[in-house]
Amino acid sequence: MDKPPFRQNQNCGDWEFKERLGMGSFAHVYLYQNHDTSEKIAVKMCRLELIPRNKDRWSREIQIMKKLNNLNVVTARDVPEEMKHIALNDLPLLAMEYCSKGDLRKMLSKPENCCGLKESEVLSLLNDVGSGVQYLHENKIIHRDLKPENVVLQDVNGKLVHKIIDLGYAKDLDQGSLCTSFVGTLQYLAPELFENKPYTVTVDYWSFGTMIFECSCGFRPFLHNLQPVQWASKVRSKGPKDIMAVEELNGDVRFSTHLPYPNNLSRTLLERMEMLLQLMLKWDPVQRGGKTNADSKKPQCFEVLEQILCMKVVHILNMTTAQVHSFQLVPEESLHSLQRRIETETKIELVNQELLQETGVSLDPRKAAAQCVLDGVRGWDSYIIYLFDKSLTKYSGPFSARQLPDEVNAIVCSSFISKSQLPLVVLKKVWGEAVSYICGLKDDYSRLFQGQRAAMLSLLRYNTNLTRCKNGMFAFSQQLKAKLDFFKSSIQYDLEKYSDQMHYGISSEKMLKAWQENEGKAAAYAQVPVSHLDEEIMSLHSEIVELQRSPYARRQGDVMEQLEEKAIELYKQLKMKSPDPDVSSDSSEMVKAIIQTVQNQDKVLRDLYAHLSKILLSKQKIIDLFPRIEKTLENIKDADNTVMQMQVKRQREFWHLLKIACAQNSARNSIAASPELSNPLQVSQWAQSAQPISNPHPLTSLPGPNDSDAAPRLLQENQKYLSQLTSLMQEAADEQSKSIVVSWDVFSQPARLVMDAWYSVNAVSYISVLHVTTFSAVC
């Protein structure tokens, strides 16, 4: 019984039909999704009755797919049981992993890619497809039909990965190392295939090289407007290193060993890519790919490919000229060495170079130059370092302008003379280059804006450091102020007490003068300049806030984006026109879009650099402030140290005074205990004669005129104070022995007690005359 025809909306158990993904020469590919798990698979199904040879091909594809396991080759899946019944022609279904990002042809067909993919995308293609092709060859399989339609893209952990599909034309080398069957798509076939000659794995080198060329430049390398049957005879005479052939308007064929401009490859990569293509696009299949390395068993082309992928390249955007410079790093190269190379190429002296990452962080001079390269990130469009000249705060050019392709320049120049008509075939390529140029102008502005943003982030980092320094300076100044306030109040108190002491005959002109000088010094130190620095810093903070709020701190590329969209739309409309070679058209609308984009870019760049100059000027102001803040901090610390030294000196003077007072008291006690003073009346008379002229402190222990028992009591009280003072002196001495600098904490507690004891001793010493001559001699 015949199977019912397949319906595109047919569901199979838990598997729901979603859409048709593609159509080949005799098969369709459909997308199914599982209801329960949401898993998606691509199911390939024959749609025609096949001749025996194609049935073999179908079966061989399934066999090959099931035995392969590589990240860059699409993986086969088990066909769900409930889906097997929809197979037609008694041929099994082929289930594969679903790659959701489309194929390489879809990417190449985008108007913005009409002159090639971005460098990062080209390098990703080299890595993935190169890995897949080598894996197939290691498993003795020739693909024979490598083309953009047979490379699909999948998102793997946030990274776009290329996978090779459609192994229907693949040939297992176990069946013989030379094959003669005519297969594959003509545009990407090696010459020996469409000439039906024996071939080997080198046919994949040709197809892969053709893909690489197209992804780099936007078109195939050899007379891309012609079929291989037409161009084969013309290209056969190419040189061994020729990688491109174009037909001039006069019919002549021009060969080249270089990749054409425009493309999106950096100079460093361009040279290696040309070397790789010269190996892969050799006409002679025996020489194609280069010699095989005896050790690695790899052909030269894959060794060059590996060298390209292993290159560590630093891309530097010189913000003073808007030019990108690329440097391939040597192993273990230092940042200093890289900067020397930058100096040679940009003429910016090493000492004036500032290299910033996108985050505004400066490169670390202690680390290797490899810090400029991120692991797994390739291409100057993906990651770039921004170079600034620290000796300048205003960048006035001249700025490096994007080169206008020759043919685009020709239509722009001719538009001012007459509306020249060009054949549509030629016009499509020229307009494609024009679209690429307009997209490039927008990208150039975006990179420069990112450089301005890096400068702003760097300014904010400097501003954060400035705030930290300001806060530190303010904290130190407040500490100094507190110490000065304490010191001045302490001196004022001492001077008051000194005046009181003078009534009892205790004085020292030397000590008085020193205290008065210290009071003057303390007043001078209070004048350390902090307030005016604080005002400057606050003013600078306001400037930076205004810079952040400025409209030029945000992208101004809206007009360029609109012009880009306009150019892309014009290009799409042109591609939809009839390919009749006799039909011509003028380029006035595209030329208008080019001129408007150039004019708008000039305007936004003037605004960008004006804003950038303000950022750099503010940053220089901060840099200039740092030495002044540092000098102020030094002055504050010097003042702090001097105040501490003055305070320590005063403490020593107190200890000298106390020492004398204690010594005199001890002497008086000895006198009181001697037989000569054993008579209480004599002691009373001596005490009365020792009383000061002015009224004494109202101590209860002071003797009255009729107090005959006062002397013994006073001696006992004096002895008690002497014991207390001796104990405190010992305690303070112990504290001082623990530190070579007397801290304020040490002074604050024992010193107050000592001063209380000192005043107490003075009060008791009213009955013990301290001679000025003895005190002055010690001081």
Residues 629 and 695 in one domain: no
Tell me: do 62 and 149 sit in the same domain.
Answer: no
Residue pointed to by tokens 């303390």: 522
Q: By C-alpha distance, which of 442, 321, 332, 338 is closest to 381?
A: 442
Verify that 20 and 154 share a domain, yes or no.
Answer: no
Segment 365-395, tens digit of pLDDT: 999 999 988 877 788 888 999 999 999 988 8
The 8-class DSSP code of residue 501 comes to: H
**What's the pLDDT at 663?**
76
Does residue 400 sit within a domain? no
Tell whether 658 and 698 lie within a shared domain: yes
Give residue 99's Cα distance to chain centre.
Answer: 32
84 falls in which pLDDT band (50, 70, 90)? confident
How many other C-beta atoms can be found within 10 angstroms of the C-beta atom of residue 252?
8
- Tell me whether residue 398 is in a domain: no
Of 187, 42, 118, 144, nearest in space to 383 by CA: 118
Read off the pLDDT band of 263 (50, 70, 90).
very high
In the chain, the amino acid numbered 586 is D
Sign of CA dihedral 191, 135, 20, 46: positive
State the Cα angle at 593 between 591 and 598, rounded to 5°.
95
The domain spanning residue 355 has which CATH number? 3.10.20.90
**What distance in Å separates the CA atoms of residue 772 and residue 763, rounded to the nearest whole number?**
17
DSSP conformation class of 245: E
Domain count, the chain: 5
Number of H helices, E strands in the chain: 20, 17
State the binding site. 44
Residue 478 has pLDDT above 80, yes or no: yes
Q: Quick one: how far is CA 541 from the chain centroid?
A: 24
Poorest-pLDDT segment among 57-71, 330-344, 578-592, 746-760: 746-760
* 665 and 629 within one domain: no
In a domain, 565, yes or no: yes
> In this predicted model, which residue has the larger pLDDT, 693 or 264?
264
Q: Is residue 500 part of a domain?
A: yes
Residues 110 and 223 in one domain: yes
Structure tokens at 140: 């003795």
Q: Specify the DSSP element, H or E, that contains 155.
A: strand 151-156
Residue 343 lies in a domain: yes
Looking at the fold, whether 64 and 144 belong to one and the same domain comes out as no
| Burial call 471-504: b when 16+ CB within 10 Å, e when fewer | eebeebbeebeebbebbbebbeebeeebeebeeb
Q: Closest by alpha carbon to 688, among 770, 766, 761, 762?
A: 766
How far apart, in Å, are the Cα atoms of 552 and each of 388, 396, 603, 604?
19, 17, 12, 9
Q: What is the pLDDT of residue 504?
A: 61
Question: What secondary structure does DSSP assign to 36-69, as a single string?
Answer: TT--EEEEEEE-S---HHHHHHHHHHHHHHHH--
Give the residue among 150, 440, 81, 403 at the shortest CA–CA distance from 260: 403
Report yes or no: 690 and 766 within 8 Å, Cβ to Cβ.
Answer: yes
* Among the listed residues 619, 616, 611, the one whose alpha carbon sits nearest the alpha carbon of residue 555: 611
Q: Output the domain CATH number for residue 197.
A: 1.10.510.10
pLDDT of residue 759: 46
Exposure pattern of 87-103 as b/e (b: 16+ CB <10 Å)?
bbeebebbbbbbbeeeb
CA distance 525 to 477: 10
In terms of average pLDDT, the best of 573-577, 667-671, 750-754 is 573-577
The answer to whether 432 touches 571, Cβ cutoff 8 Å, is yes
Last residue of a domain, one of 309, 330, 349: 309
Residues 113 and 58 in one domain: no
The H or E element that residue 424 is part of is helix 424-502
Phi-psi category of residue 23: left, alpha or beta, with phi > 0 → left and psi -120 to 50 → alpha = beta
CA distance 185 to 148: 11
349 occurs within a structural domain: yes
What is the distance between the alpha carbons of residues 549 and 558, in angstroms, rounded to a whole number? 19
Please count the other Cβ atoms lying within 10 Å of the Cβ belonging to residue 364: 10
Which of the four pLDDT bands, split at 50, 70 and 90, describes residue 352?
very high
Choose one of 98, 132, 160: the last residue of a domain.
98
Residue 580 has pLDDT above 90, yes or no: no
The pLDDT > 90 percentage for the chain reads: 43
Backbone torsions φ then ψ of 405, nearest 5 degrees: -55, 145
Last residue of a domain, one of 282, 309, 336: 309
Helix, strand, coil percentages for the chain (3-state, nearest 5): 55, 10, 30
**CA 575/CA 6 separation, integer angstroms:** 36
Q: Which stretches of 674-709 are DSSP H helices?
A: 680-689
Bridge partners (DSSP) listed for residue 256? 244
List Cβ neighbours of 653 (8 Å cut-off, separation of 6 or more).
511, 514, 779
User: 605 and 678, same structural domain?
Assistant: no
Please determine, for residue 70, whether its predicted confidence score (pLDDT) is greater than 90.
Answer: yes
Catalytic residue among 103, 128, 145, 444: 145
Is 567 strand, coil or helix? helix
At residue 1, does pLDDT exceed 60?
no
Quick one: pLDDT at residue 166? 84
The residue-averaged pLDDT of 240-264 equals 90
Distance CA 154, CA 162 (A): 7
Site of tokens 């003075």: 762
> In this structure, are 243 and 188 located in the same domain?
yes
Rounded to an integer, the average pLDDT of 281-294 is 93
pLDDT of residue 518: 76
- The token duo for 679 is 């008579």
Cα 44 from Cα 72, distance rounded (Å): 19
Give the pLDDT score at 537.
Answer: 92
ω into 262 cis (within 30 of 0): yes
* Cβ partners under 8 Å of residue 550, min gap 6: 611
Please give the single-letter amino acid code of residue 178: L
CATH of the domain at 509: 1.20.1270.250
Q: Report how far residue 65's alpha carbon sits from residue 95's, in angstroms, rounded to the nearest whole number.
A: 10
Its domain, for residue 339, covers 312-392
Q: Are residues 289 and 335 in the same domain?
A: no
Each residue's pLDDT tens digit, 555-575: 888 899 999 999 999 999 888
pLDDT > 80? residue 751: no
- pLDDT at position 594 is 93
Cα-Cα-Cα-Cα dihedral sign, residues 276, 281, 282, 288: positive
By DSSP bridging, strand 313-318 and strand 385-389 are parallel
Whether 401 is in a domain gets the answer no
pLDDT in tens, 673-732: 655 544 544 434 434 444 443 444 333 344 444 455 555 565 566 566 566 666 655 665
Could you tell me the CATH number of the domain that includes residue 42?
3.30.200.20
Confidence band (pLDDT; 50, 70, 90) for 176?
A: very low
Residue 648 one-letter amino acid: V
pLDDT of residue 673: 61
| pLDDT value of position 457 | 96
Choice between 334 and 232, residue whose per-residue pLDDT is larger: 334
Residue (of 772, 779, 766, 773) closest to 665 by Cα position: 766
Considering the domain architecture, whether residues 559 and 666 belong to the same structural domain is answered as no
Residues annotated within the binding site for ATP are 44
Q: How far is CA 596 from the centre of its chain?
A: 34
Q: Exposed, middle or buried, 456 (CB in 10 Å: 0-12/13-18/19+)? A: buried
In the residue annotation, 145 being an active-site residue is answered as yes
Residues 475, 640: contact at Cβ < 8 Å?
no
pLDDT at 689: 43
Give the Cα separation of 499 and 657 in Å (integer): 15
Residues 6+ apart with CB under 8 A from 28: 20, 22, 44, 45, 47
Q: What 8-state DSSP symbol labels residue 253?
A: E
Dump strand ranges (E) for 47-146. Answer: 76-77, 94-97, 141-142
User: Looking at the predicted structure, is the pLDDT value of residue 643 above 90?
Assistant: no
pLDDT number for residue 640: 85
Q: Which residues pair with 245 in a beta bridge?
A: 222, 255
In a domain, 661, yes or no: yes
Is the dihedral angle over the CA atoms 717, 723, 725, 728 positive or is it negative? negative
pLDDT for the residue 81: 87
